Amino acid sequence: MKRMLVTGATGLLGINLALQLMEKYTIIGVGNRRMLTSLPYRLIQKDLLSADAAGELLREAQPDVIVHCAAMANIDACEKDPETAIRINGAFPGEFAAQAAQAGIQFVHISTDAVFDGIDCGADGYKETDATAPNNVYAQTKLAGERAVLEQNPHALTARVNFYGWSTSQSRSLAEIFYYNLSAGRPMKGFTDVFFSTLYVENLVELLDRLIEKNASGLYHVFSAESQSKYAFGVSIAERFGLDAGLITPVSWKEGGLAARRSPNLIMNTDKLRSFLGTALPTQVECLDRFYRSFQAGLPERIHGFAG
Ligand SMILES: NC(=O)c1ccc[n+]([C@@H]2O[C@H](COP(=O)([O-])OP(=O)(O)OC[C@H]3O[C@@H](n4cnc5c(N)ncnc54)[C@H](OP(=O)(O)O)[C@@H]3O)[C@@H](O)[C@H]2O)c1
């Protein structure tokens, strides 16, 4: 079985990816501050900002493929500590990608739709070739990371993504925030003028796995075939889970009181991905149905249980 090193394996994407692909790959996960228990895959504790972290991980894990999910992914935390954000999001991916290239290891880097400012995505959504315009520290540092990977490793795959799913904290994704608040009868606000092309994380992992199998390299937009507003997303979750959609107040992001600027219109173009894979991409309803089925199968409790 091939060996897959997954950084960020305590985070939302990493944990779901590891659980989903563990029948296919021997997973070696990397976490830092959150040491989870009873995981069904090996977890190495390593601060990626420590000296020679990349080299030590490669020697210890001997991977065939690396999926680099780790990042400082909290937008407001990046505003407060831009120095750490640039080191982990901007510089480390390039160092890691360079070492992977030297060792001949397949390298997948995870980036974000937030590299665009969301002002004008054009009629067909943002393409891989469109000019970027990051408008907060998180986005600036993630863009620096993409560029560093591209520069250091021409064989690497960089996937710009946006996703939701179940996390150990039960609050890492917007879908969970809607679900847990509405379940408790707490009112929520939903932005009617912020659009995104998000995927349920299992749909995202399936697409990433197919890209890995096909040895894809370069930059890909890995998103749903469809986009919707965050308000519509909240309402669809309420309806799918039998909760009260009336608890969600439609608002503009301008009234949202968020510390860092967000990009309002992140409708993403996925033509490159669709033609490379030769298939249709998941719709919003397909993703939501899968999210709901994972809920029925007990995935939220399973993942939360790893937090001890
Ligand atoms: N969530 C989204 O919708 C979204 C959207 C677009 C792009 N992305 C990208 O997707 C990737 C995964 O995001 P996520 O939502 O899964 O993030 P997350 O839940 O916040 O997890 C972040 C992961 O990074 C690890 N990490 C952070 N600093 C580290 C360090 N110095 N050393 C070692 N590990 C470190 C964390 O480990 P510990 O917690 O154990 O310290 C954790 O496992 C990121 O690259 C993010 O930029 C996410």
Q: Which residues contact 307 (CB under 8 A, 6 or more apart)?
A: 34, 36, 168, 169
Would you say the CB of residue 71 lies under 6 angstroms from ligand 1?
yes
Number of domains making up the chain: 1
Q: For position 264, what pLDDT does the model report?
A: 86
By residue range, what is the domain housing residue 155?
A: 3-169+197-226+267-288
Would you say the CB of residue 160 lies under 6 angstroms from ligand 1?
no
The number of CA neighbours under 13 Å toward the Cβ of 304 is 12
Res. 253 pLDDT band, cuts 50 70 90 = confident
Strand partners, 190: 250
Phi, psi of 250 (to 5 degrees): -70, 130
Ligand 1, atom 23, residue with closest C-alpha? 8
Q: Tell me the pLDDT of the chain averaged across its residues.
A: 96
Phi, psi of 112 (to 5 degrees): -140, 155
CA distance 266 to 116: 7
pLDDT tens by residue, 1-48: 999 999 999 999 999 999 999 999 999 999 999 979 999 999 999 999
From the CA of 167, give the closest atom in ligand 1. 19
What is the pLDDT averaged over residues 267-282? 98
Of 83, 152, 79, 105, which Cα lies nearest the Cα of 7? Answer: 105
From the CA of 10, give the closest atom in ligand 1. 43
**pLDDT over 80 (residue 261):** no
Specify if 100 maps to a domain: yes
Please report how the helices 12-21 and 201-213 are oriented relative to each other, as an axis angle in degrees rounded to 10: 60
Report field, pTM of the whole predicted structure over 0.95 = yes
Tell me the C-alpha to C-alpha distance, in Å, between residue 86 and each of 139, 194, 203.
Answer: 10, 26, 29
Would you say the CB of residue 118 lies under 6 angstroms from ligand 1?
no
Specify if 297 maps to a domain: no
Using the mean position of ligand 1's atoms as its centre, give its distance from the Cα of residue 301 in Å. Answer: 20
Specify if 48 maps to a domain: yes
What is the pLDDT averaged over residues 195-201? 97
Res. 114 pLDDT band, cuts 50 70 90 = very high
pLDDT tens by residue, 71-98: 999 999 999 999 999 999 999 999 999 9
Using the mean position of ligand 1's atoms as its centre, give its distance from the Cα of residue 14 in Å. Answer: 8
Ligand 1, atom 47, residue with closest C-alpha? 73
Specify if 214 maps to a domain: yes
CA distance 286 to 133: 31
Specify if 36 maps to a domain: yes
Res. 260 pLDDT band, cuts 50 70 90 = low
Using the mean position of ligand 1's atoms as its centre, give its distance from the Cα of residue 154 in Å. Answer: 23
How many other C-beta atoms are found inside a 10 Å radius of the C-beta of residue 151?
12
Would you say the CB of residue 70 lies under 6 angstroms from ligand 1?
yes
CA distance 13 to 7: 10
75: tokens are 């937008």
Measured over the CA atoms of residue 21, residue 173, residue 290 and residue 139, the dihedral's sign is negative
Amino acid present at 290: R
Using the mean position of ligand 1's atoms as its centre, give its distance from the Cα of residue 8 in Å. Answer: 5
Task: Please report, for the domain that includes residue 145, its CATH number.
Answer: 3.40.50.720
Would you say the CB of residue 51 lies under 6 angstroms from ligand 1?
no
**pLDDT over 90 (residue 256):** no
Specify if 134 maps to a domain: yes
Specify if 64 maps to a domain: yes
Phi, psi of 227 (to 5 degrees): -125, 160
Specify if 182 maps to a domain: no
- Helices then strands (H, E): number in the chain? 12, 14
Res. 258 pLDDT band, cuts 50 70 90 = low
